[in-house]
């Protein structure tokens, strides 16, 4: 495979990862981290870039993607878990949310806001999303060679101008959380992007693209996947650092409610009214590429479940659902989908990490079941809490779990479940050896 092909696949992967949330998190982190920005952004990159790369690496070793991985626990778990993940990060959350954000940042500042304007924008937006996702063989050319360079060029204009004009800005002191533990706080912010779930979907798109480009042998697929992932990860890290630095400098100018208001203020400060146009282009392109990647990924997965239903029909269905939710009822869907994401994220991380050590325990189901079972208890609890349920005394006991206040209460149960499963694996392996030994008379 040529270097240029690998380059464009890496650019396509970067563009799919780089959605609206990736634009908003880093500058707000920078504004709050202040003088502790280097440690905070390092922690952010560890989880916002490192976890998705781990997922891509794990998927490159498994024929069949995340469902095959999850089926190591149990085939039914593999099916249900994967469906929930794809629906949550696809038509029931990320796709309609990105389309709405594209409207709010790309068109709303320039017109009188109305439901008709939103309808017209999202209709055109999703028509283009569907047309590009429909031509998967052309996705690398359209996204890797055209859309992503435009996105990167727009980012370069914003970032370079910010570096030049804001270089004399004063550094604000870190807020309380970033002052006490900047690396950990940045680590958690990167964790909260939940890009590891997106990597599950995008991994299938990249694997499909690699095979279309001639990478059919396992080692070659893994090598090219790693190259594309490292390129995308490097670009993401550079963009995160750059946006975070702008946030650091803007903190000395004023206070901001979130990352989008900070970027809007920075764009206006740097370019005047034209800044809104530049920022709008960045948001629209970032949201658009993410939606294309997610529609394509969901279409591929559900087509594999129901081969008799064409990829075109499935993609059209998910595009229509996303379009509808972007206009009618997105807030309700967010309320329903986020708890599923919260529950699925910890399970995904544990599943991926365990799979990296698969040869050490020869793929024993005991290890997978043990790890997922105890993680699942906490994941189910966290998901129900996100729905608004309370459990009285159970809440008190769950709060005693290490790291629970950080949203990482599943970590120790995952270790314990893995240890139990590994112990059972060792015991099972020793039993035949004991049985085969001769009995002394």
Give the separation between CA 8 and CA 223, rounded to whole angstroms. Answer: 15
Contacts of residue 354, defined as CB under 8 A and 6 or more positions apart, other chains included, come to: 367, 368, 371, 418
Percent of the chain with pLDDT over 70: 95
> Which of 233, 234, 213 is CA-nearest to residue 141?
213
Q: What CATH number belongs to 3-327?
A: 1.20.1740.10
* Mean pLDDT, range 108-134, rounded to an integer: 91
Q: What distance in Å separates the CA atoms of residue 203 and residue 201, rounded to the nearest whole number?
A: 5
At 142 the pLDDT is 81
Give 356 or 254, the one with higher predicted confidence.
356
What is the average pLDDT across 76-84? 92
Mean pLDDT of 37-63: 91
Helix (H) or strand (E) holding 233: helix 218-250
- pLDDT tens per residue across span 304-337: 999 999 999 999 999 999 999 998 866 666 677 7
The region of weakest confidence among 43-52, 212-221, 378-387 is 212-221
Instruction: Output the pLDDT for position 104.
Output: 86
441 pLDDT exceeds 60?
no
Each residue of 1-33: pLDDT tens digit? 678 888 888 888 998 888 877 888 899 999 999
Per the listing, tokens 């998190």 go with: 25
- Among 94-98, 236-240, 313-317, the minimum mean pLDDT is found in 94-98
Write down the domain spans for the chain: 3-327, 357-428
DSSP secondary structure letter of residue 175: -
What average pLDDT does the chain have?
87
| Residue 438 scores a pLDDT above 70 | no
Of the chain, the percentage scoring pLDDT greater than 90 comes to 45
pLDDT at residue 188 greater than cutoff 60: yes
Helix ranges (DSSP H) in 49-191: 50-60, 66-70, 75-89, 94-106, 115-134, 136-139, 148-165, 176-180, 182-191
Q: What is the pLDDT of residues 406-420, one digit of tens each?
A: 888 999 999 999 999
Sign of CA dihedral 429, 433, 434, 435: positive
Q: Is the dihedral of CA 136, 309, 56, 344 positive or negative?
A: positive
pTM (2 d.p.): 0.86
pLDDT of the residue at 439 = 52
pLDDT of the residue at 40:
95
Q: How many residues does the chain have?
A: 441
């Amino acid at each position: 495979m040529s270097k240029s092909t690998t380059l464009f696949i890496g650019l396509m992967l970067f563009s799919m990862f780089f959605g609206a949330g990736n634009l908003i998190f880093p500058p707000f982190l920078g504004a709050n981290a202040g003088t502790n920005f280097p440690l905070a952004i390092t922690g952010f990159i560890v989880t916002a870039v490192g976890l998705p790369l781990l997922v891509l690496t794990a998927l490159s070793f498994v024929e069949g993607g995340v469902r095959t991985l999850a089926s190591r626990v149990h085939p039914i778990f593999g099916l249900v878990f994967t469906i929930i993940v794809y629906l949550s990060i696809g038509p029931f959350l990320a796709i309609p949310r990105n389309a709405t954000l594209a409207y709010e940042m790309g068109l709303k500042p320039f017109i009188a806001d109305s439901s008709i304007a939103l309808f017209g924008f999202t209709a055109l937006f999703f028509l283009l999303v569907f047309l590009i996702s429909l031509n998967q063989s052309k996705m690398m050319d359209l996204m890797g060679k055209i859309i992503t360079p435009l996105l990167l060029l727009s980012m370069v204009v914003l970032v370079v101008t910010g570096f030049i004009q804001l270089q004399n800005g004063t550094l604000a002191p870190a807020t309380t959380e970033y002052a006490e533990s900047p690396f950990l706080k940045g680590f958690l912010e990167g964790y909260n992007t939940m890009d590891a779930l997106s990597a599950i979907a995008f991994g299938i798109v990249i694997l499909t693209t690699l095979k279309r480009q001639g990478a059919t042998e396992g080692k070659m697929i893994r090598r090219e996947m790693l190259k594309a992932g490292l390129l995308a990860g490097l670009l993401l890290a550079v963009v995160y650092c750059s946006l975070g630095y702008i946030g650091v400098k803007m903190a000395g100018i004023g206070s901001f409610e979130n990352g989008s208001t900070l970027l809007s203020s920075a764009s206006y400060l740097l370019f005047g009214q034209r800044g809104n146009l530049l920022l709008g282009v960045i948001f629209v392109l970032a949201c658009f590429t993410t939606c294309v990647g997610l529609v394509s990924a969901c279409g591929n997965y559900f087509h594999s479940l129901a081969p008799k239903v064409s990829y075109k029909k499935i993609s059209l269905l998910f595009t229509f659902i996303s379009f509808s939710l972007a206009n009618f009822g997105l807030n309700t869907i967010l309320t329903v989908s986020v708890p599923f994401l919260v529950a699925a994220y910890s399970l995904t991380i544990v599943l991926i990490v365990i799979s990296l050590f698969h040869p050490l325990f020869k793929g024993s189901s005991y290890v997978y079941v043990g790890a997922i079972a105890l993680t699942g208890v906490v994941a189910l609890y966290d998901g129900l809490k996100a729905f608004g349920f309370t459990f009285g005394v159970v809440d008190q006991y769950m709060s005693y779990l290490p790291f629970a206040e950080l949203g990482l209460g599943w970590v120790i149960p995952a270790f314990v479940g893995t240890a139990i499963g590994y112990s059972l694996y060792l015991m099972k392996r020793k039993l035949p050896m004991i049985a085969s030994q001769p009995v002394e008379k």
